[in-house]
A and B are shown apart, each in its own frame.
Chain A
Amino acid sequence: EAGVAQSPRYKIIEKRQSVAFWCNPISGHATLYWYQQILGQGPKLLIQFQNNGVVDDSQLPKDRFSAERLKGVDSTLKIQPAKLEDSAVYLCASSPGTTDTQYFGPGTRLTVL
């Protein structure tokens, strides 16, 4: 079974630039999560989708971050404009439902200079 795919794996940008990350969950998984993991910290949930609807985005900095999952499958997470403190690994995870085990992707490492 193919796992959660993410791209790009690495991204380096300058502050105030925009960046987008892509996630393809495991086929058939209705729930998709985006996490931010800053160096030395645990993952922090940014947003959770159930199919194409948002279940929770209470920790998403909405002034600069946005995410969508238009067809209930792939998802994109965008940062515009980026700040130095956005440097982190962005993890995508998926699960069959909200009560099921989450399967994580390899992450995208973002460096903001």
Chain B
Amino acid sequence: AQRVTQPEKLLSVFKGAPVELKCNYSYSGSPELFWYVQYSRQRLQLLLRHISRESIKGFTADLNKGETSFHLKKPFAQEEDSAMYYCALKAWDTGNQFYFGTGTSLTVIP
């Protein structure tokens, strides 16, 4: 069963516009959720994790257990935000298995 769903494969926004990348998960326990980012020709890297409750590069993500969502948001998109974004879940009940979504490619139009 798909643990993490990212419904949008592609997302384009204009520079300065708000951006929201959607992530929904399926997990019965207490999840640990992450957003990873891969910029062009760079390695996959952690953007943020929900337990840190911090803002990285202007991005925030709030865990909504009622809606089983962990959407990534930024009020004003910048061109350098163009990248591939992956939502991931760590499942404590299956030996710390990591499950990644299929990713959303964000393009910020100048």
Contact = CB atoms under 8 A, between A and B. Distances in A.
Interface stretch (B57-65, B66-74, B96-104): B96-104
B interface, by DSSP: helix, strand, loop or mixed?
A: strand
B106 interface: no
A91 to B, nearest CB: 7
B83 interface: no
A58 B95 contact: yes
B96 A43 contact: no
A interface, by DSSP: helix, strand, loop or mixed?
A: loop
A42 B86 contact: yes
Contacts of B98: 33, 43, 45, 102
Nearest to A91: B44
Contacts of B43: 3-4, 104-107
B38 to A, nearest CB: 9
Interface residues of B, number: 18
Contacts of B103: 41-42
Contacts of B49: 101
A66 interface: no
A56 interface: yes
Contacts of A58: 94-95, 97
A42 B94 contact: no
B102 A41 contact: yes
Contacts of B45: 103-104
A40 interface: yes
A48 interface: yes
A40 B101 CA distance: 10
B100 A42 contact: yes
Interface of A: 3-4, 33, 40-45, 48, 55-56, 58-59, 91, 93, 98, 101-107
Interface of B: 4, 43-46, 49, 86, 88, 94-103
Given A45-B97, A48-B95, 20 more contacts: A4-B43, A33-B98, A41-B102, A41-B103, A42-B100, A42-B101, A42-B102, A43-B98, A45-B99, A55-B96, A56-B94, A56-B95, A56-B96, A56-B97, A58-B95, A93-B44, A102-B46, A102-B98, A103-B45, A104-B45
